[in-house]
Amino acid sequence: MSITFEQLIETGPIEIAGRLVDASNATLFGKIKAQAGEVSIVYKPIAGERPLWDFPEGNLASREVAAYQISRNVFNIVPFTVLRDGPFGPGAVQLWIDTPDDFDPVEFGSSLNPELRNMALFDVVINNTDRKFGHILLDENRNLFGCDHGVSLHKDWKLRTVLWQFAGERLTLEEVDALEKTKESIDSGELHLENLLQPSEVHALSERINRLLKERTFPSPDQEWPAVPWPPV
């Protein structure tokens, strides 16, 4: 019987190989192995999270999973992510994305690539406060992914991103359709976000999509809030 990488990530034993030292919270690289194969993962235990004054409720791991749930059916930006137990307790476990050696995230992230436009729209939806160039990933098949969504989905407007090249542009019909499908899945309870976020955050998520559908343009930087994360990489 074959086993998928999703099943491996959901239930397989995690073997820690090392720590990603550039991360401000505990971020561990590891592998999950079985007779059918192995998969590389990133494990972020809740016990290793540093308290944040502007995200006092909930935990970052749950926000990582909520971002995946919002992404998976429409945007396809976030690698497969689950909330599960691990060697250091419950945390977010995410598929590791290998990027080619010649990939330059700053050059790519500064372009007008249409896939980046999809990522930029997703970041508005989830109110991402930390879209750095280093959080833009391109796998060996040139598929675009984004990582590190723990500081997102706040009820207050806090968008900080390096992807401002689409600001002020009108949404396409395809983008409007993506927003409508996302809102339907949220309002129906299909994504079970109530298990991951505060009720006020789920409400604010729906309201952000409503505003996008009403204005039908990418937002511009807020002059009252730092528009770019620092450092940007």
Any idea where the domains of the chain sit in the sequence?
Answer: 5-215
pLDDT by residue (tens digit) across 43-89? 999 999 988 888 988 999 999 999 999 999 999 999 999 999 999 99
Average pLDDT over residues 126-145: 96
Q: pLDDT at position 181, please?
A: 97
Name the residue among 135, 146, 4 with its Cα closest to residue 76: 146
pLDDT by residue (tens digit) across 19-40? 987 777 889 999 998 877 899 9
Position 1 confidence tier, pLDDT thresholds 50, 70, 90: low
Terminal alpha carbon distance of the chain: 43
Name the class of domain 5-215: mainly alpha
The count of C-alpha atoms lying within 13 angstroms of the C-alpha of 130, restricted to the half-sphere facing its C-beta, is: 18
Pull the structure tokens for residue 12. 């397989």
Position 224 confidence tier, pLDDT thresholds 50, 70, 90: confident
